[in-house]
Amino acid sequence: MKVKTFQIHWHKDTLPIFSIHFQPGEAGRFATAGMDYKVMMWKLVKNQTELPQVIFLSTLKHHTAPVNVTRFSPKGELLASAGDDGIICLWKLMENKDSKKSFADDSDDETSEDSETWKAISLLRGSPCEIIDIAWSPDGEYIVAACMDGGSRIWRVKDAKCVCVLMDHVRNVQGVAWDPLGEYIATQGNDRNVHIYSYNIHSNGIFEMTHVSKNFKVEIPNKKNQKSSVKEDNTTKTDDDLTKHNCNGDNHTTVLANSEPKIAANDISNDINPISNAIECSGNIKTDPSQVPTTSSTPKQSKKIFRLYCDEMINTFFRRLDFTPDGGLLLTPAGQYRNSMIDIINDQNEKDEINLKVETAILNTVYLFARNRLNKPIAFLPGHKKPSIVVKCNHIFYKLRFPRKTLQPQIDTTALQTSSNYFMADNSYSDKSSSNTSPLFDLPYRIIYAVATQDSVFIYDTEQYAPLVIATNLHFATFSDMSWSPDGNSLMLASHDGYCSVMAFREGELGEQYTDYVPMSRDNKSIVDIPQASLTDATLTNSNVRQNNDHVNHVQLIQKSVSETVTVTVSMDTGSMQQKSNDITQNQHVQKKRRIAPKLIQQL
């Protein structure tokens, strides 16, 4: 793997780049959108021995305000761009260069150097405010947009008509995602909510939406006096514990779980995650009205309400969520998790007793939702120092690296440590032939996905707990967007500092491509088997990193053990950017403070 920051003139005066996206196909073309009101077209040229190079192709100008997002259609024929002017502009590549501007004829030096011409063929109007993010439908006939007025609007491309408006967010909508199977639409905003909708398009063109789930909080039972009140709570509920929502004539009832965590001396991992034993996110769950608990005047047990997502104080305009290419998982950024820090005190006189001192700390994370259980997350990825901004999935399916009996982490409870910041544990990995374990998600293939935080990039897959790659110090400002190349071997990153980087992998470095994938139908709700809760903390090791004269890191991606992770620290070159660090950190030993690997949430 090679990492490089292209220090070229991307947008005017190195203004922030808000979006980047590859065109489907083999052309290597990708577009960037920025604060200079323009969309720039580029081409990534790959070389077998050297790093990829970037070639400028064209400048697309029509917007009258900063452009926040640009996305190619699923077939790659059209490019959509949207920004603060509230307009979605659809662009198409012209065969000849003679056809210049479509809505304006203001030629300048930039357009005169274009090697290709893109024409604005349609404008989608109807948004009264800025547009932050957009997503195409799988068939390329519709576009959904995230707007700053709390609305999500859907346009039909062929007639440029707004066919649906969703106004469930109370603040800015900062991310939208369209299910690749064509059944769900997900939105996320800085009101700390994630809304999931199902839709149906009638023969007369009417767009019918159904609110499926709303995920924003969990309830943590107060452990004080919990034992004395657990029996009452299991039999009675107050009106505050029930949320009813009627949709298309069906009764939807939300019941918040209230179960007491069980702590066992031989299963400390179950108590590492206090939410995993008593978590139920708010959502719309179909329930038989006869089974709804009756209200009672009994005082409700005091509970702590904990929000799943960060508030609007995090420094970002975007919360770009994404579906996996098979539609089995939904990954949502900007999550936060209340971690338990456990101080184990061994009593020599009473060896069977373990005193637990539980404190809480907030960790940044990414929440994962399964297609067959969208009302609450099934797993999360903590260990991020700063809030996550963007999640992007690689569209290539890869073969499993290990047989179905994979390496399973085993915890050593005698080596538990306490940190003032987060809980740590020394873990060991064993390959016991007697253990009948399975990958993190029970899939016949691997899906690779990337998570960009404000200062780092993590690359995971669905087979193991630990990340494959951790890249830091790539830019001097927050990441804004990223995109995988169609062949899955390059990951382009855009930043607010006005520059873009590439993480380039050799052919086969991420794995062998899985060719037996058959797309599922939209009615298949069991694409991903919900994993059982098991050990959640994994020890990560840093690999040796070499630096060449071009300040580019060459790292051998480790695929021998699920416990090994490549950590990349990139040093910026001087020039148009200020040099903050001249050295590349090379960690040859395991750090004392280890990153925390993905955690699974136990089923209720």
User: What DSSP string runs through 365-386?
Assistant: EEEEEETTBTTS-SEE---BSS
The values of phi and psi at residue 53, to 5°, are -115, 155
Look at residue 120 in the predicted model and tell me its pLDDT: 96
Residue percentage of the chain with pLDDT more than 90: 49
Amino acid of residue 112: S
Q: Does 182 have pLDDT greater than 80? A: yes
Domain residue extents for the chain: 2-216+308-600, 217-307
Q: For the domain 2-216+308-600, what is the CATH code?
A: 2.130.10.10
Which of 406, 413, 414 shows the shortest CA–CA distance to 430? 406
- Binned at pLDDT 50, 70 and 90, residue 394 comes out as very high
Look at residue 575 in the predicted model and tell me its pLDDT: 46
Which of 493, 216, 159 shows the shortest CA–CA distance to 376? 216
Q: Does 416 have pLDDT greater than 90? A: no
68 vs 273 pLDDT, higher one: 68
For 564-582, what is the mean pLDDT? 48
Q: Does 293 have pLDDT greater than 60? A: no
pLDDT digits (tens, 9 = 90+) for 359-374: 567 889 999 999 999 9
Q: How far apart are CA 195 and CA 604, in angstroms?
A: 22
Location of structure tokens 């699974």: 600
Look at residue 485 in the predicted model and tell me its pLDDT: 97
Q: Are 51 and 2 in contact (CB under 8 A)?
A: yes
Q: How far apart are CA 341 and CA 334, in angstroms?
A: 22
Residues facing residue 59 across a β-bridge? 40
pLDDT digits (tens, 9 = 90+) for 536-567: 333 233 333 333 333 333 333 433 333 455 66
Q: Note the pTM of the prediction, 2 decimals.
A: 0.72
Q: How far apart are CA 492 and CA 39, in angstroms?
A: 16
- Long-range contact list for 340-344, CB < 8 A, 24+ apart? 340/271, 340/272, 340/273, 340/274, 340/423, 341/418, 341/419, 341/422, 341/423, 342/268, 342/271, 342/272, 342/416, 342/418, 342/423, 343/418, 344/268, 344/413, 344/416, 344/418
Q: Does 137 have pLDDT greater than 80? A: yes
Location of structure tokens 């200020």: 578
Q: How far apart are CA 572 and CA 474, in angstroms?
A: 7
315 vs 247 pLDDT, higher one: 315
Q: Does 596 have pLDDT greater than 50? A: no
pLDDT digits (tens, 9 = 90+) for 449-484: 999 999 999 999 999 888 999 999 999 999 999 999
